[in-house]
């Protein structure tokens, strides 16, 4: 058993929870992981059981901590963004969590926007509301299930619920709270103006901390089931995109990341929040209190490939994604004329359209699984290029780009994204950046590290770089032009199909 202090990061994702243990130098010691599902009790709904989250967390932590469990000196959290968990006065969730992929609040998004107004959304919230965001979700609950609000003591984000189970203390923090559309991103506090305009009780929202602040200590009951010592400091934590950025060393403005996980994101740090009048991107709080970031998100990146995996009845195959990648690699760029719009759950940036729908265009009798696999990867890459183009129109400086997320572990998909963006992509040789980032942030709260600048010195060196292939630029530019034409042309039909 090691006596050297180590740090535990818990990353509550959409499809699984991962636990990461690092030592004080940032070296990865061990990981644990447990999957869980998404429930859809009605079409367009996406819910998860908070007990599934907790049970998965317990199993993942016990697997990761192993023989160093007694040396864990601090716990940090990272989590899926935007979701809604209601808890009562006994700190128990009173309904399944409504997560970011939920589509039920389409009408409430329009109502929210009308009540708050474009000026306050751009200047205060830093974002338009979107389906799956806490703000519109609470409006839906207020309208369709008001009894839940009456029973609720607090409304919290997914990873904040796990921290509640760990410490017994209710809180949130600036990075995750800024993703609700109910937050003042410049003041890094709940916006009482927005909350009152949409008719929600201000006392429903817990105190706001900064990510590195200690939010509480591991209570005895939780310590026993986790196999950890009681009393360990638990940091407030942060949103998963912020955690991966910290884990990748993306704090200062300029360099950014492109992520292909369940969804897809372009993430660029900033010194100060910009005013995005079009409200087709998100301006949120970064982990340091003097940093922000601009992000564009697409909803079904890896989820699109997962949909194809399940459609092909490969969900039980351990190497299913490797097989799909190999199929995609057997087809030339542009998938022999097949285009895919990755809007299987609507779309966020830059379309901001929950009524958008996915589709394949250009299918013939000769197209098969390989063409569909590559078209999905290319469609996701084209959607990410639209996001990056939108960010650059705001004159936000964009430097080197880091590849993040499980989808980028595929050399084929990574090459496609590099080709479509026409940018080199650096892939860290280490893994689990979100869990690592959460653990490192907890180290600041526990006094192990001085500040974020010290953390940056611990980021693992050495990266694999995927350069764009010059001969692919012209065909992909032409295919991107076609891709960009499709949504405006098909929008009336896609809306009508709803």
Scanning the structure block, which residue is given the tokens 């891709």? 483
pLDDT at 361 over 50: yes
Q: How far apart are CA 7 and CA 401, in angstroms?
A: 28
* Confidence (pLDDT) at 316: 83
CB 402 within 8 A of CB 248: yes
pLDDT of residue 429: 65
Band (439; pLDDT cuts 50, 70, 90): very high
> To 5 degrees, how large is the angle CA 158–CA 162–CA 166?
160
pLDDT at 239: 97
Cα–Cα distances in Å, from 437 out to 30, 67, 211, 214?
A: 15, 22, 11, 15
Judge whether residue 1 has pLDDT over 60.
Answer: no
Q: What is the per-residue pLDDT across 120-140, written as a single tens digit (0 to 9) for each?
A: 999 999 999 999 999 999 999
CA distance linking residue 116 with residue 55, whole number of Å: 38
The single-letter DSSP state of residue 227 is T
Q: How far is CA 387 from the centre of its chain?
A: 15
Strand, helix or coil at 79?
Answer: strand
The rounded distance, in Å, linking the Cα atoms of 323 and 240 is: 28
Which residue in the block uniquely carries the two structure tokens 């601090």? Answer: 74
The answer to whether the beta carbons of residues 219 and 231 sit under 8 Å apart is no
- Rounded to whole angstroms, the Cα distance separating 243 from 444 reads 13
Burial of 482 (0-12, 13-18, 19+ CB in 10 A): middle
- Residue 472's pLDDT is 98
Element (H, E) at 91: none
* Contacts with 213 (C-beta within 8 Å, 6 or more apart), sequence order: 173, 235, 236, 445
- Residue 346 bridge partners (DSSP): 344
Question: For residue 498, what pLDDT is reported?
Answer: 79
Identify the CATH number of the domain defined by range 6-249: 3.30.420.40
Average pLDDT over residues 418-429: 91
Specify whether the CB–CB gap between 111 and 139 falls below 8 A.
yes
Say if residue 22's pLDDT is above 90: yes
For 4-20, the pLDDT digits (tens) are 889 999 999 998 999 99
Give 204 or 432, the one with higher predicted confidence.
204
Comparing 40-54, 261-275, 419-433, the range with the smallest average pLDDT is 419-433
Q: Residue 405: pLDDT above 90?
A: no
Q: Would you mind telling me the total number of residues written for the chain in this entry? A: 498
CA count, 13 A, side-chain hemisphere, 274: 21
What HEC string does 448-491 produce?
A: CCCCHHHHHCCCCCCEEEECCCHHHHHHHHHHHHHHHHHHHHHH
315-347 residue pLDDT tens: 888 899 999 999 999 999 999 999 999 999 899
Average pLDDT of the chain, as a whole number: 95
Inter-residue contact 53 to 39 (CB < 8 Å): no
pLDDT digit string, tens, across residues 73-102: 999 999 999 999 999 999 999 999 999 989
DSSP alpha helix (H) spans, 254-398:
302-311, 320-329, 369-393
- Per domain, the residue ranges of the chain are 6-249
Q: What is the dihedral of CA 357, 96, 155, 241, to 10 degrees?
A: -50
For 442-466, write each residue's pLDDT tens digit: 999 999 999 999 998 888 765 789 9
* Residue 51 pLDDT exceeds 70: yes
CA terminus-to-terminus distance, the chain: 58
Q: Is residue 18 within 8 Å of residue 432, measured between CB atoms?
A: yes
CA distance 61 to 470: 45
Residue 163 has a pLDDT of: 98
DSSP letter string over 378-435?
HHHHHHHHHHHHHHHHTT-----EEEESGGGGSHHHHHHHHHHHTS-EEEESS--HHH
d(CA 178, CA 239): 9
pLDDT reading at 362 higher than 70: yes
386 three-class SS? helix
3-state secondary structure of 361: strand
Instruction: Quote the DSSP letter at residue 39.
Output: B
Give the mean model confidence (pLDDT) for residues 261-280: 92
Q: How confident is the model at residue 386 (pLDDT cuts 50, 70, 90)?
A: very high
């Amino acid at each position: 058993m090691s006596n050297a202090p180590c740090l535990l990061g818990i990353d509550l994702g959409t499809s699984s929870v991962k636990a990461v243990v690092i030592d004080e130098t940032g070296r990865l010691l061990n990981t644990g992981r447990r999957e869980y599902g998404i429930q859809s009790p009605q079409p367009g709904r996406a819910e998860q059981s908070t007990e599934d989250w907790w049970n998965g967390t317990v199993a993942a932590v016990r697997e990761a901590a192993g023989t160093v469990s007694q040396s864990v000196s601090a716990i940090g959290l990272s989590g899926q963004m935007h979701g809604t968990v209601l808890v009562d006065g006994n700190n128990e969730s009173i309904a399944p969590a409504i997560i970011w992929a939920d589509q039920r609040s389409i009408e409430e998004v329009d109502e929210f926007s009308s009540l708050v107004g474009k000026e306050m959304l751009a200047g205060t919230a830093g974002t338009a509301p979107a389906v799956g965001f806490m703000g519109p979700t609470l409006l839906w609950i207020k309208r369709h299930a008001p009894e839940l609000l009456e029973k609720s003591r607090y409304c919290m984000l997914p990873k904040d619920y796990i921290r509640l189970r760990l410490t017994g203390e209710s809180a949130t923090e600036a990075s995750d709270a800024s993703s609700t559309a109910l937050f003042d991103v410049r003041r890094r506090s709940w916006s009482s103006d927005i909350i009152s305009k949409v008719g929600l009780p201000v006392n429903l929202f817990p105190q706001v901390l900064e990510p590195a602040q200690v939010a509480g200590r591991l209570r005895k009951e939780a310590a026993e089931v986790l196999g950890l010592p009681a009393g360990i400091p638990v940091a407030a934590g942060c949103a998963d995109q912020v955690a991966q950025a910290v884990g990748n060393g993306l704090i200062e403005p300029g360099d950014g990341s492109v992520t292909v996980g369940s969804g897809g994101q372009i993430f660029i740090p900033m010194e100060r929040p910009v005013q995005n009048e079009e409200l087709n991107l998100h301006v949120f709080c970064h982990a340091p209190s003097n940093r922000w970031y601009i992000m564009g998100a697409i909803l079904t990146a890896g989820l699109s490939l997962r949909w194809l995996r399940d459609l092909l009845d490969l969900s039980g195959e351990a190497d299913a994604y490797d097989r799909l990648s190999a199929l995609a690699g057997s087809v030339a760029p542009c998938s022999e004329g097949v285009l895919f719009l990755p809007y299987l759950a609507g779309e966020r940036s830059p379309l901001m359209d929950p009524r958008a729908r996915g589709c394949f265009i250009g299918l013939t009798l000769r197209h098969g699984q390989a063409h569909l696999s590559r078209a999905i990867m290319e469609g996701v890459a084209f959607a990410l290029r639209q996001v990056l183009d939108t960010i650059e129109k705001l004159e936000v400086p964009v430097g080197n780009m880091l590849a993040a997320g499980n989808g980028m572990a595929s050399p084929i998909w990574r090459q496609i994204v590099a080709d479509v963006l026409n940018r080199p992509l650096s892939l860290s040789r280490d893994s689990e950046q979100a869990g690592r980032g959460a653990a490192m942030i907890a180290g600041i709260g526990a006094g192990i590290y001085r500040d974020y600048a010290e953390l940056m010195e611990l980021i693992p060196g050495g990266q694999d770089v995927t350069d764009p292939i010059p001969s692919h630029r012209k065909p992909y530019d032409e295919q991107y032009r076609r891709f960009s034409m499709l949504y405006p042309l098909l929008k009336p039909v896609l809306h009508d199909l709803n």
